[in-house]
């Protein structure tokens, strides 16, 4: 048990900060002190931003993305290619793909991956909604941009199988050498996948 160093409001702030991913008790204390020192420039706007996020954030009923409107800005954007749906595990993955800026497609957030060991089955994920979107028609390709993990790949195969009755192309991301990667540093699994997914020059 650590000794209390400050009043209950400050202790509570530290305890809550310590629950953020990547922050332990030590960095939470440092973050809390920093916020307190920058009370007007940082603490007050952060408190406001947290409250506004809490009040406004909704889950998109079409794709499962989070935004401040339903449907989300991506689903509501008429310039987005409605013929391609990119399936991701989490909103974080959607954000990563948007940062890459390569696609102008729409998304579908599953909310995780199938994981028999963790007891996560199809009904725990946003899969039925994806099938319904495809069944509505107008979708030509579903890109399964799931993680290159056993669970991710199991999920990709499961979803592709479910979509096989529909006239839609299912693809997945290539596995292989990362941009800037040196072969000597890659694990055998990645190298083998890269060789299997080789492309013509």
Compute how many residues bind Zn ion; rule: CB under 5 A: 7
Strands (E), 68-160: 81-88, 105-109, 141-144
Interacting positions 117-136 with Zn ion (CB under 5 A): none
17 vs 109 by CB, closer to Zn ion: 109
Q: Shortest approach of Zn ion to residue 72 CB, angstroms? A: 3
Q: Quick one: 35 or 139, whose CB is closer to Zn ion?
A: 139
d(CA 120, CA 143): 22
Nearer to Zn ion, 64 or 176 (CB): 64
Closer residue to Zn ion (CB): 29 or 133: 133
CB 142 within 8 A of CB 169: yes
CA angle 53, 59, 63 (to 5 degrees): 140
Distance in Å, CB of 65 to Zn ion, minimum: 4
Residues in the chain, how many? 201
Minimum distance from CB of 69 to Zn ion (Å)?
Answer: 9
For residue 109, what are the β-bridge partners?
A: 88
- Distance from C-alpha of 45 to C-alpha of 38, rounded to nearest angstrom: 10
Closest to 196 (Cα-Cα) out of 158, 162, 148: 148
- Cα separation, 143 vs 166, in Å, equals 14
Query: CA–CA separation, 174 vs 171, rounded Å?
Result: 9
Nearest approach in angstroms of CB 31 to Zn ion is 32
Q: Which of residues 52-91 bind Zn ion (CB under 5 A)?
A: 60, 62-63, 65, 71-72, 75
Q: Report the nearest approach of Zn ion to the CB of residue 76 (Å).
A: 8
Nearer to Zn ion, 82 or 112 (CB): 82
Contact call for residue 13 and Zn ion (CB under 5 A): no
Contact residues: Zn ion, CB under 5 A: 60, 62-63, 65, 71-72, 75
């Amino acid at each position: 048990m650590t000794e209390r160093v400050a009043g209950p409001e400050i202790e509570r702030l530290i305890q809550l900060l310590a629950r953020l991913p990547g922050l332990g008790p030590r960095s939470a204390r440092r973050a809390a002190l920093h916020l307190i020192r920058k009370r007007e420039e940082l603490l007050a706007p952060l408190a406001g931003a947290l409250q506004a996020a809490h009040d406004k954030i909704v889950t998109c009923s079409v794709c499962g993305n989070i935004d401040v409107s339903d449907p989300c800005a991506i689903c509501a954007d008429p310039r987005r290619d409605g013929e391609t749906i990119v399936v991701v595990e989490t909103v974080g993955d959607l954000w990563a793909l948007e940062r890459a800026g390569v696609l102008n497609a729409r998304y579908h957030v599953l909310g995780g991956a199938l994981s028999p060991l963790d007891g996560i089955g199809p009904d725990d994920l946003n899969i039925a909604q994806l099938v319904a979107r495809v069944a509505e028609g107008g979708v030509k390709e579903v890109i399964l941009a799931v993680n290159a993990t056993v669970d991710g790949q199991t999920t990709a195969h499961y979803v592709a199988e479910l979509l096989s009755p529909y006239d839609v192309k299912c693809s997945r991301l290539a596995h292989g050498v990362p941009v800037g990667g040196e072969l000597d540093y890659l694990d055998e699994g990645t190298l083998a996948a890269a060789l299997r997914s080789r492309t013509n020059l």
